[in-house]
Each structure stands twice: as C-alpha cells, then as structure tokens.
Structure 1
C-alpha cells in the first residue's frame, strides 16, 4: 500500500474521529441531565477547545452574548479548563474578594508569571508571603520619590519626542509614528529612570533592551496556556530571565561595595528588608521583584498610554482643552515661561477626568481569574433576578433563589472591563468616550458606596469589589502600582500636550485581543506637530 493511500486513510480516520467527538459532545449537552447546583454550561461544538475561538476573538462580546442567553453566572470550557464567569459588580466582588480557602490567584497565574518574573516571588509563593513582598515594595512608593519622579519622567518624554519624532530635534513637523510603539518606548524609559534605577536606565540603550525583548516574548496567551513548550522563544525567555536576574544582582553587589550613598529608588528600598520570620529578602528575590515590577507595569502602562495618544488624536477639541488647562495652571503670562510640573499640582480636574475615562473604556485587563481550591458556593445575590432586571420572566422564575456551586479544580472569572461599559450601570452612553461624566456634579460610581478598607499586611487599601469601576482590581491583589501609574501617565500626557499637537492618520482603531493586554489594533498611527513657542494670552 502506497504512502499516499496510508496518509489519506489516516486523514480520513482523523476527520471521522473529530466529527464523532463533536456529535457526542453536542448530544451530551442536549440530553444529559443538568445539575441545578451547577451554573448553566455555554453550548459549544468542539470538546476541549470549547469556546476558545469566540472568547479569544471578542471576549466582551462573547460575555455579553452569554449573559443574554444564560444570565450573569455561567460556565464555559476553554482549552481543557472549565471557567465560571460571574458578571456585574457583585460577581467581581465574589471573585476578587473571595475567601482564600476557596479561591486562589497563585494557582491561576503562576504557570505564566513564574518563568518570566522568576521563582520565590509574586505567584510562586503563598499568599501571605506575597502580601509581605507587597509591603516591601510600598517602601519604594513614597511621596518623596513621586516628587522626584515627575521631573525625571518629563525629561525622558521630551528627550524621546525630540529624538524619535522630530528627528534632529529642531523640526516643527514630526513624522507619523505608531502610537503603541511610541507609548511602549516612553513607558519603559520613564519606568527605568524612576523605579528601576539609573543603572537600568543606562543599560536600556544597550544589552538590557534586548533582554527585555526576549523576556517579553514569554508573556503571551500561548505561554499562558502552554508554559513549557520546546520552542525557541521559550528558550530565549529562560536565558533572558537568568541574565536579567544576574544583572540586578550585580547592581546590588556594586552598590554595597561603593562608599557612596545609594540612590533613592526601588532597589534601595528593597535592600535589607526582612520577613516576619526574620529571614532576609535575598538578592535573588529582590532581582525577581524588580523584574516583576518592570514586566507587569510595562505592559499595562504602555497599552494605556497608547490609548491616551489615540483618543487625544481622535478628539482635537479635548486635546486643546487639556492644553488650555495646562496654560491656566502652569503658564506664567508675565514671564512667558511654564512652571514645572509637580506631584502636588499634577492632578488638574480635566486631566484626571480624562485618565479615569481612559481606564474605564480601555482597562488593560478586561478579566481576572482565580482557581477554585475548595468547592465554592456562588452567593445567590450574584445571579439573582434583581441583578438582572431585563431578563425574561421564565429565566427569573428558573433562577430565583438558586445558589450555584463551582467545584474544586475549576476556575472563576470576574470581568470588571465588562461592568465598566455596561449600559445597565452607566446609562445609554456607557460605550461613549466622555471624560465629562467625571466632572458632573454628584457623579458617583455605582457600587462604591459599599467599599470598605482592609489591611492585607501592607497598609489599608480599598476592597472595592462591588464597584463598577475596577481598572486596578480589588482586594488583596489590587495593583500596588496604581499611584505610580497615575503619576507616570499624568506626567506623560501633560508633557505631550504642552508642547505638541497630533492627529490620527486613520480611523480610531478597535481592540486587539491577541495579547495578554488589550491593545489598539494596527494601524494606529498619529502625526505630531510642535506647538507655538508662546501660548495665547
């Protein structure tokens, strides 16, 4: 028998097996008795793969369709995992403020983060150790440091724009640039000049940039699903992780050997810290925490910065209003000079409203997951008819009073990004980009009246799970870099607006869901022009 015939038969057998698997899977969903204690299962054709294609192409659209069909609590299969989604502010609170005995973030994310960040930190340690490590990081996020950071960030932004947008630094009309590339490069330069330390910033133009690029290759959806494939990108990731760790450790060693006073940055803050047990924070752990701060902050801030540039290119009138606000607060008409941006005066009303609206419409992470480690009941209030007033009478009757249970080994998912553009919460203009909503008198985010504070071991923070606005998460895993992110983004936007004007070179882009962070689709180009030297009186 020829090889061609054997290949054809093998292919035919494979196709027949796939068809049989689909038929059996569909039949099982149609005829198998349903456990009323389990959330409704989203209908799907292909086993194992499940809803990966529809969820991956448009997560928020997929969740919205499922909500209309099944209500706010439902389970869908995704590449061998079973994920129960709990939509709405109450659903977010259930996941993000869930009991440690039931839900676990470490087991949900460690297979993605540990190969990139390194061992013994973040999700590679028990939760109580992570809380202590967050406390150590807080020592580097002081008000005094933020005051210094504003000037450093402004200098980096101006230098980058002069070098990469206006070429020789003297041209008045810049070339068209990719908004995400521009934001990404500005973000890593400003982060390295502030949090990371001058040694990292000096190396950013040399070998460190390549290490970052190789390590960044291990932070993709493929790595999330299959973290240990024998691929060249994985090997580059692992080599870069080791070299970057050695780079940070060498900085620590040189600082100890130097008679000079160490600079006030995160590395200095982390040195000589110790756990409650008395064990010191090792150089290896310090290096891995620094890598985690760099990688996690870079992705989210770069995406947010890109959306900021694009939105201001889309709305020239808003760009002009932000410029006018800067003139009003920071330009001295008598001397014809700008006053310096400062931490205490950075938060002007329209700028802060713009950033809030930006994070509402474009949160870097639309969904957050936890793994169930003990059979977990879903409070009836999460999926109650009162939480879904627009559902049919039949659905309301079927679900009233039901409390679902998610079994051990499965996952739960909160979708704050869905709640942040839900018309049932924010009104008919929920999907419109309108910063003015944050300037309206009496504007209050739904659910924030239920917020409380709790000390998870590193200072009191807002639990905030019932809020409809959670761009930085909530509870014990709320983003510790929230304040720095606002300082960084606010300074970048204010600096760009003071000295430049720019316009979109194409229609406003849609969402790119192919990466771990929601980024704008290409093309996403803008064209810059320098502003006149003197603002109008």
Structure 2
C-alpha cells in the first residue's frame, strides 16, 4: 500500500486493520522500550553524579543495562574487571551484580575491612546460605546461625588432629601409587626398565579423582572409601553439578540439573546417616575418621549433634575440600609441567631427604612432608596465583563507614556502605597487586624462600605463629585479615581444613613428582571463571612419562 500525500495521513490509518495496527504498536514498544530503559539508566547515572546525597556513597561503576549492571564483565573475568575499576575509582567502589549493589574493598586493607568485620554487620550466612544449603544441607555451615557454625567447625577440627595426620601421609602416597598403577591412562605407559613413551592426561580430571580417593581414604574413612564405586561417583557428580555460581542468584530453578542435585543430596545424606546409626547401634568408635570425631559432640546449649548434622558436615567436607584441593593440585601440576627445571629440583629435594642406596625413595613421615622447602614454595606460589576463591562476599546488615585509611574521604565525609548492600574482598587482587608483589603475575616459587622478601612477610602476617590468636569458637587461630596473602580466607571464616589441605596436596604432588616427569605441550592455560572454583581452560593436557630408576 502506498500513501497518497494529498489525503490526510489519518485516513490511511483508518484503512489498516486493527490487528495489524496492534501488532505494529507491539513491535514498536518491544523494540524501543529496552532502548529507552538503557537511555534512562545512562542519564540517571550521569545526573546522579552531582547529587549531594550520593557523595557519601562509594562511586558506582558505569553500566549500560539496569539490573544486569557489570555482571558480564565480573563473571567472565573478575580479575581484569576489578583491576580496571581500581585504576579508575580507587580501592573502594560499587558495582551492580544482577540487581545487587556490591561495594568492593581491595588490597590488604580492603580484606581486613570485609573479612575482619563483625559477623553481625558483614554477614556470610545472608550471602551464601541459599547457595550452599541445597548441596551441604539445611542444618550446617551457612544455613545455621554463625555461633552454631563456629561450633560445628570446632567439632570438625577435633578430627583434624596431628595424630590423624601422621597416619594420613602413608595413605595419601599409597592411593596415588595405586591410582598410577591401575588407571588405564597411566598403566598403559609403564616401563619398568627405564623411561617409557610420553603419555598425556587432563590434570583437572586426574587430580580430582586422586583428591576424592585420598580424602575418602583418610577423613571419610574405610566405609566411605569402600563405597566409592561408579554409582557413588555419579551421585557426587550430580551433587557437584548443582554447586555452581548460578546458585548464588538462582538456587532453585526448575531445571534438571537442580533436580539431580536434590536427588543426589538425599541419597548421599541417607548413606551417611545409615553409617552413623549403624556405628551407634554397634558401639563402634575405634575408626580414626571424621564420622567418629563428630559422633557424640555436644553444643554449648547441651544439644547433641544430630545424625543429620553429622551427615551434612561430611558432605560439606567432601564437597568443599574436593573443589579447593583438586583445583590447587591441578594448577600446581600445570606449573610443574611448564617449569621442568624446577620440577627436577623438587625431585632432587626428595632424593636428598628420602633417597635410599637402591635408588628408590623411602616413604615420607608427617613431619618430613611439612619441611620440604621447594614443595612448600610450589604450593604457596600456586595458591598466590590461583587461589580457590577469587572473591568473597558478605551481606551488609547496617550502615558501615569506610575507614579513611582505605578510601580518602569525600567532600561530605567518609564513604558509607549502606544497609542492604553486599561487600566484596578479593584475595586474587591482593595476591597479584603490583604495588605489593615484585613481578606480580610471574610464577616465581623462589620468592617464598627469601626470608627477607615480601612473600615471607605476607606469610608471617597470615600465619602469625607467635602473635595474638583469636578464638571465634573453633579454636585459637591467627586472624590473618591484614595479610595480602590469604589463600584459605581469613578471620572467623578461615578454612578449618587448611592444614589438611596443605598436607594432602603436598603429599600427592610429591608422589607424582617421584613417579613421573612432566612437560606442557601448549601455552599455559587461562582461568575459566564460569566454574565454582576457577579452573584451567582447555586445552590443558599435560604430557608425562615414568621416571628413570637407577
């Protein structure tokens, strides 16, 4: 239809059927309303810059889309995003994350502000309970009041004794050697006469499997280790499939992987509860494992720990420890493959400490496993560049002023983080801050051997063996919130399994180095931030061959 310009335009609209006209209006609004929303959002940000009531709040990162905010930039590469914002806005700023206002506090002082704050003000339960409860359970960790969680950590710590650790080292070694001798990908490349052909493996897959085997053999106990068949592994995979960053925002969507998560949680929970009940009925408490350590524990209120709480603590230990140790171990193997000269020095360190006349290496003891300088340097440098948690959030329950030492006061006084916002600290940023670390992004394990260097100072502040300890309810620990190095968190939510993780990862890596040589056939992989714990992007295969024996 062509318009006759000599006839009023309105007459032509009268000729258009109402259905067609409505469709055109609908299309008009469908196309233009999002544009208007974006334009309004931009104008609102530009106008609000000069408003007096906003000057007391930290600067807000510019964003095109309301609600979405900076979610894409933060989610795809948080380190690049945070450093870019730091350069533009300073150490304190706010960004929009799927409708949430998140105020970031960077550097060691920022870590101290967020992680050293009062739990009644900067609350972890509000931030994480909707994410962890479907996986761990609704009566443990962040699903319960902080005081109860601290007591649960105390009960867990009872099972992480030095006596237990002394028995674990041999179990770790045995599990790794058994895995290498029986797993097809390694078994096919054995050559007892010398160095065999080069094989290849995915370090994320292999270290994840070794981590679950070593953890179940030690912390979880013989019964759990014996139950690790294909069906149990599939249940763990289903449970793990529901533990993703999306849980933080949408924990209960009607999706199949959420339904598999819930079914797996129920079956694994029932499995642990049955074991607890069987042991109680038979009076069995001789096993040196975590179930027996938790059984019979009583809260300060006089309430005994329930069978469900014991089962869910076991799930939390299994899942949380699995992610962090597996990630650290995989990154460390990639670093070993990238630096074969350093790997050879780690091997020679073992020869020096554990060498025997027949050319074999004798088993390590617990005390010896803790005193390998190069191995410890490898783990610490891996954790510096690849910490398991890149950012940590808390929900703000009341208005909180930002200390002037962290952010210079605005014209109207100090910045204030308002009630209802979230606050965020980033160990990854403080670990790689070029203002603190020499060659911050370079893998340099030797920095941890220099007793006068920045790494030694950061570690001393974090560990603070001889300084003041704080008891948050699970035993006296170093606060560690003022250190630029925080691989296991800090303050009241510092990881209770820190020492176990160091021992597990260290022994696993030492055993792998004792048995294998590594090389990296492709460039070192970048981070994949779409997983719960940052993992290496593909391609990430490591090539290996059996070590020569004299």
| Structure with greater Cα Rg | 2
What is the aligned counterpart of 1:188 among 202, 212, 224? 212
Distance 1:6 1:194, change over 3 A: farther
Matched residue, 2:508: 492
Which segment is superposed worse, 225-234 or 336-345? 336-345
Matched residue, 1:338: 361
Q: Please state if 1:133 is matched with 2:159.
A: no
Q: Please state if 1:76 is matched with 2:86.
A: no
Question: Could you give the per-residue CA deviations for residues 49-105 of structure 1, whole angstroms, max 9, x where no partner exists?
Answer: 000111111101101111111111000001010000001100100000101231100
| Residues in 2 aligned to 1:318 and 1:88: alpha-carbon distance in whole angstroms | 30
Matched residue, 1:166: 186
Give the CA deviation at 1:262: 3.2
Distance 1:270 1:105, change over 3 A: same
What is the aligned counterpart of 1:21 among 10, 29, 37? 37
Number of positions where the alignment pairs a residue of Structure 1 with one of Structure 2 = 519
Matched residue, 1:57: 76
Distance 1:160 1:475, change over 3 A: same
Give the CA deviation at 1:207: 2.0
RMSD: 1.9
Question: Could you give the per-residue CA deviations for residues 384-441 of structure 1, whole angstroms, max 9, x where no partner exists?
Answer: 3xxxxxxxxxxxxx748942111111100001110101110112x1110001001113
| Residues in 1 aligned to 2:234 and 2:179: alpha-carbon distance in whole angstroms | 19
Partner of 1:151: helix, strand, or coil?
A: helix
Matched residue, 1:243: 267
The answer to whether the Cα contact below 8 Å between 1:361 and 1:421 also exists between their aligned partners in 2 is yes
Q: Please state if 1:143 is matched with 2:166.
A: no
The answer to whether the Cα contact below 8 Å between 2:189 and 2:197 also exists between their aligned partners in 1 is no
Distance 1:56 1:261, change over 3 A: closer
Matched residue, 2:483: 467
Give the CA deviation at 1:166: 2.0
**Any unmatched runs of 5+ in structure 2?**
1-16
Matched residue, 1:388: none
Partner of 1:166: helix, strand, or coil?
A: helix
Q: Please state if 1:108 is matched with 2:127.
A: yes
Matched residue, 1:309: 333
The answer to whether the Cα contact below 8 Å between 2:189 and 2:199 also exists between their aligned partners in 1 is no
Give the CA deviation at 1:14: 2.4
Partner of 2:201: helix, strand, or coil?
A: strand
Matched residue, 1:521: 537
Partner of 2:542: helix, strand, or coil?
A: strand
Matched residue, 1:445: 457
The answer to whether the Cα contact below 8 Å between 1:175 and 1:527 also exists between their aligned partners in 2 is yes
Give the CA deviation at 1:505: 2.3
Give the CA deviation at 1:108: 0.4
For residues 375-524 of structure 1, the aligned pairs below 5 Å read 375-384=399-408, 399=410, 402-427=413-438, 429-443=439-453, 444-446=456-458, 449=461, 452-524=468-540
Give the CA deviation at 1:3: 9.3
| Residues in 2 aligned to 1:447 and 1:337: alpha-carbon distance in whole angstroms | 34
Distance 1:156 1:2, change over 3 A: farther
Give the CA deviation at 1:7: 7.0
The answer to whether the Cα contact below 8 Å between 2:56 and 2:412 also exists between their aligned partners in 1 is no
Distance 1:42 1:304, change over 3 A: same
Q: Please state if 1:275 is matched with 2:299.
A: yes
Give the CA deviation at 1:375: 1.2
Give the CA deviation at 1:445: 2.9
Partner of 1:75: helix, strand, or coil?
A: strand
Distance 1:313 1:2, change over 3 A: farther
Give the CA deviation at 1:261: 5.0
Matched residue, 2:3: none
The answer to whether the Cα contact below 8 Å between 2:55 and 2:412 also exists between their aligned partners in 1 is no
The answer to whether the Cα contact below 8 Å between 1:360 and 1:417 also exists between their aligned partners in 2 is yes
Partner of 1:173: helix, strand, or coil?
A: coil
Q: Please state if 1:374 is matched with 2:398.
A: yes
Matched residue, 1:207: 231
The answer to whether the Cα contact below 8 Å between 1:107 and 1:371 also exists between their aligned partners in 2 is yes
TM-score, structure 1 normalization: 0.93
Distance 1:85 1:218, change over 3 A: same
Matched residue, 1:390: none
Partner of 1:337: helix, strand, or coil?
A: coil
Distance 1:255 1:6, change over 3 A: farther
Give the CA deviation at 1:206: 3.1
The answer to whether the Cα contact below 8 Å between 1:380 and 1:401 also exists between their aligned partners in 2 is no
**Any unmatched runs of 5+ in structure 1?**
385-397
Question: Could you give the per-residue CA deviations for residues 323-370 of structure 1, whole angstroms, max 9, x where no partner exists?
Answer: 00000000123x443221111001211111111111111101111000
Matched residue, 1:355: 379
The answer to whether the Cα contact below 8 Å between 2:55 and 2:411 also exists between their aligned partners in 1 is no
The answer to whether the Cα contact below 8 Å between 2:384 and 2:432 also exists between their aligned partners in 1 is yes
What is the aligned counterpart of 2:344 among 298, 311, 320? 320
Question: Could you give the per-residue CA deviations for residues 171-220 of structure 1, whole angstroms, max 9, x where no partner exists?
Answer: 43353111111111111111111111111111112321111111101111
| Residues in 1 aligned to 2:254 and 2:23: alpha-carbon distance in whole angstroms | 26
Give the CA deviation at 1:122: 0.3
Runs of 4+ aligned structure 1 residues displaced above 6 Å come to 1-8
Give the CA deviation at 1:258: 3.5
Partner of 1:413: helix, strand, or coil?
A: strand
Q: Please state if 1:289 is matched with 2:313.
A: yes
Distance 1:519 1:94, change over 3 A: same
Partner of 2:435: helix, strand, or coil?
A: helix
Give the CA deviation at 1:260: 5.4
